[in-house]
Amino acid sequence: MQRSYLVYALGVITLTLAVTTTYLTWQHLTQRSHIDMLLKERNFFLLENASSSNTLVVERAQASSTITDLAYRLSITEEELRETERDLDREQNRNEEFEDQLDDLAGTIGVLDKLSKTDKELLQKYSKVYFLNENYIPQRLTKIDDSYVLPGRKEQYFHASAWKFLKEMLDDAADDAIDLKVVSAYRSFDEQNELKGQYTQQYGTGANAFSADQGFSEHQLGTTLDLTTPAVGGPYTSFAATPAYTWLQENAHKYGFILSYPENNSFYVYEPWHWRFVGEDLARDLHAADVHFYDWEQRKIDEYLVSIFD
């Protein structure tokens, strides 16, 4: 009986072991398979990761190449822009030059136009070989107000464009208590001839000394006049001793007037009363150089013609 129990017990133990072994084997297989699965997943993940990282590298390389390309194109564009700016500058400079040339041309045309309208005789030196044409008449004359004319004299006329300079000079002289009066201003050729005839009758050939043609030609211009003071009266050499004459010597150039025939000149007899309008610029420059009108070259004097009434 005891032996059969033992056999039974052994049988139970053996069965139990077999079952346990089978279970463990199954469990082992299951876990193995799970590990394999996990390993597969890991590998897959690693692969995936590696691939996406590769993509990034490629993309980064592409981006870098694109940036390099863009930078290159930008530098070209900048260079083109600089060139365009240089072209624009050149074009602007050319335009400015052209405008300057136009301005110069307009200026030249303006000067030429002004010159063409300015009477060349107004600054002409008259000599024994150069006379003013007997038919010459000034462009426009204006009547000198009687208050400026020596009492007892007839109506006097002066060049219309030069009148304002004469009026200012006479007014300023009056302000300085200098009583300047006009004895004779514009004279036509006929009047001159008549006057010369009178002088010739009175003084014979000696009349040529102070009424020679060139002296009176200046009166025919309309810009020349004889001045005196009521105390002196007519156009006499004694005018040179008056304060009025001194005032004229010091101030007449400021108004554009010059003394045509100063003392000891080599052209004509001394005429302290005989003043000619030549424009402020020329009168001022002659005065500054201490030179007389008739001592300067005609070519040099002519340069002042364009601004004679400025």
Interacting residues toward Zn ion by CB under 5 A: 226, 274
CB of 92 to Zn ion, least distance (A): 59
Residue labelled with tokens 């309208």: 117
Q: What minimum distance in Å lies between the beta carbon of 148 and Zn ion?
A: 16
By C-beta, is 285 or 294 nearer to Zn ion? 294
**Nearer to Zn ion among residue 155 and residue 175 (C-beta):** 155
- Residue, CB closest to Zn ion: 274
Q: Which is nearer to Zn ion, 159 or 274 (CB)?
A: 274
Closer to Zn ion by Cβ: residue 234 or 251: 234
Burial 5-36 (b: 16+ CB within 10 A, else e): eeeeeeeeeeeeeeeeeeeeeeeeeeeeeeee
Secondary structure of residue 234 in the 3-state scheme: coil
Q: Minimal distance in Å, beta carbon 277 to Zn ion?
A: 13
Under 8 Å between Cβ of 24 and 30: no
Report in angstroms how near the CB of residue 274 gets to Zn ion at its nearest. 4
Residue 138 and residue 159 in contact, taking contact as beta carbons nearer than 8 Å: yes
Task: Between 117 and 152, name the residue whose CB sits nearer to Zn ion.
Answer: 152
Q: Which residue has the tokens 């601004």?
A: 307
- Furthest C-alpha separation in the chain: 207
Residue 270 C-beta: closest distance to Zn ion, Å: 12
Q: β-strand 181-184 against 157-159: which pairing, if any?
A: unpaired
